[in-house]
Amino acid sequence: MISMLGLYRPRRTPMHRAPVWFKMLLLVGISITSVAVSDPVTSIGITAACILLLVSTLPPAKATLKGMAFIILIAAMTTLFQVWRGDYVRALDLAGDLVSIAALALAITSSTSMGAMLDFVSTLARPLRWILPPDSVGVMVALTLRAIPESARILTEARVAARARALEREPRAFLIPAASRSVGFALQLGQALHARGIAESGRALRASRDDAPREAPVMLAEPPVREVETGETPTVRPAGRRERRR
């Protein structure tokens, strides 16, 4: 499943030329239709259309088959369970829904570059710019997509090293090295962000907001007090009409 993140290949197909918002709307619409409609004929038709869209994007065959194999295995297990219960219509419907949504998601992944996807995420985050800058949202999504395959690679290499030492049944033999390497990757990533000034720009923006001039509070003048001689009780002179208007 991790290989799906690198499926994009520059092509000149209709899916490659379509805007990102259209692809996202198509994915949401097909997903809602697949869940709402329980007709197996409609489900099979949507599945065939999604598979044709996936083939039209000319994705890499090995990575695509590897990604779809896991989805087809889940669909087959779901179908067998529904057939065992005696619900054949439900079995076809669920299998078609799983395969169609996965095939359409792969078609979008193979026809959309990472830069275009991050720009789309930043555009969606613009209404929340008063809470979180849109560029920061794009950076977080990019870091997440970068960290997922890296973490999987670190864990796989740790398991292979533990198996080479005949310690595959000892969890500490691969969990501790994987954790230490993950921390090292996070530190290197933080240093790279700091070197590009991403952290400094956020601090400067926060400091400019904190140092912004604030309005001084309005102080009410004290009422005039008449000076009195020693032994007399001081009295407060009430404000006149002009002073009240002020």
The pair of structure tokens assigned to 153 is 């690679």
94, 81 in Cβ contact below 8 A? no
pLDDT above 80: residue 217: no
Q: What is the pLDDT of residue 6?
A: 57
The Cα–Cα gap between 71 and 1 comes to 9
Any idea what the Cα angle at residue 74 is, between residues 73 and 78, rounded to 5°?
120
How confident is the model over 45-76, as pLDDT tens digits? 999 999 999 899 888 888 888 888 888 898 89
Burial class from Cβ neighbours inside 10 Å (0-12, 13-18, 19+) for residue 78 reads middle
Angle in degrees, 0-180, between the axes of helices 172-195 and 134-164, rounded to the nearest 10? 150
pLDDT above 70: residue 174: yes
pLDDT above 60: residue 245: no
- Nearest of 49, 179, 167 to residue 101 by alpha carbon: 49
Q: How confident is the model at residue 133 (pLDDT cuts 50, 70, 90)?
A: confident
Q: How far, CA to CA in Å, does 198 sit from each of 55, 140, 193, 211?
A: 39, 12, 6, 20
pLDDT above 90: residue 2: no
pLDDT above 60: residue 202: no
Q: What is the pLDDT of residue 239?
A: 52
**Average pLDDT for 125-144:** 75
pLDDT above 70: residue 95: yes
64, 7 in Cβ contact below 8 A? yes
Q: What is the pLDDT of residue 26?
A: 92
pTM of the model: 0.62
